[in-house]
Structure 1
Amino acid sequence: MAAASPSSLRVDIVSGFDPALVRVHGDLDIASAPSLRAALAPLLHRRVELDLTDVAFIDSSGINALAAHHRHCRDAGGRITVIEASKPVRRVLHITGVDEVLVHRRDPEGPGGGRREDPPNTP
């Protein structure tokens, strides 16, 4: 399933697995945040892993969409975690503190090891 917005955001959902995998492509901003919310809405009761590797830019509207979905998921018995993110997105998640709630850090020695998911060092 895929959803798109005029801002060229693309959301690919692989829901046949548990947790569902959601890959987001494009900029996550004021124009595209409603599209992300709409794409995630049917997954409130599910465990969702979010891959933001192909998101080059995220603004406060994107952060708000992620935080709101996290709250709604929690209330509905679901869960959302960011398992991958581009460097600029990781930095924003870290600066805003959202990484403390949404980012899953894998053990470098375990499955998926070697992928950098920790927030970058900030000056």
Structure 2
Amino acid sequence: MAAASPSSLHVDIVSGFDPALVRVHGDLDIASAPSLRAALAPLLHRRVELDLTDVAFIDSSGINALTAHHRHCGLAGGRITVIESSRPVQRVLHITGVDAILTHPRDPEDPDRGRREDPPRTP
């Protein structure tokens, strides 16, 4: 299942796993945040791992989309966790404090703990 917006955002959802894997590609901004919200909406009740490695830019609209989904997940019994992100996104998540609610530090003694074998990336 995939969703795309008129902007440069593309969302790939691998829902056959638990947790579901969601890979986001492009810029997460005011033009594309509604597309991300729409793509994540059916997953509110699920555990979701979000891969933002291919997101080069995120603004307050993108942050708002992520935190709103986090809140709605909590009410619906789901959870969203950012498992990977690009350096620019990591920086914004850290500066805004959103990393404290959406990311979980890896155990340095077991960096793969809790990780499953992901399906291969598609170009």
Q: TM-score, normalising length from structure 1?
A: 0.89
Q: Which moved more, 1:52-61 or 1:102-111?
A: 102-111
How far apart are 1:22 and its partner, in Å? Answer: 0.2
How far apart are 1:105 and its partner, in Å? Answer: 1.7
The CA distance in 2 between the partners of 1:108 and 1:29, in whole Å, is 33
Matches within 5 A, 1:48-59: 48-59=48-59
Matches within 5 A, 1:58-69: 58-69=58-69
Matches within 5 A, 1:15-34: 15-34=15-34
How far apart are 1:109 and its partner, in Å? Answer: 2.8
The CA distance in 1 between the partners of 2:13 and 2:111, in whole Å, is 22
The answer for unaligned runs of 5 or more in structure 1 is 114-123
1:13 maps to 13
The CA distance in 2 between the partners of 1:64 and 1:104, in whole Å, is 19
Q: TM-score, normalising length from structure 2?
A: 0.89
Q: Is the 8 A contact 1:45 1:78 kept in 2?
A: yes
1:91 maps to 91
Q: Cα RMSD (Å) of the superposition?
A: 1.1
1:73 maps to 73
The CA distance in 1 between the partners of 2:38 and 2:21, in whole Å, is 16
- 1:3 is aligned to 2:10: no
Q: Is the 8 A contact 1:83 1:105 kept in 2?
A: no
How far apart are 1:111 and its partner, in Å? Answer: 4.2
Aligned-residue identity in percent = 88
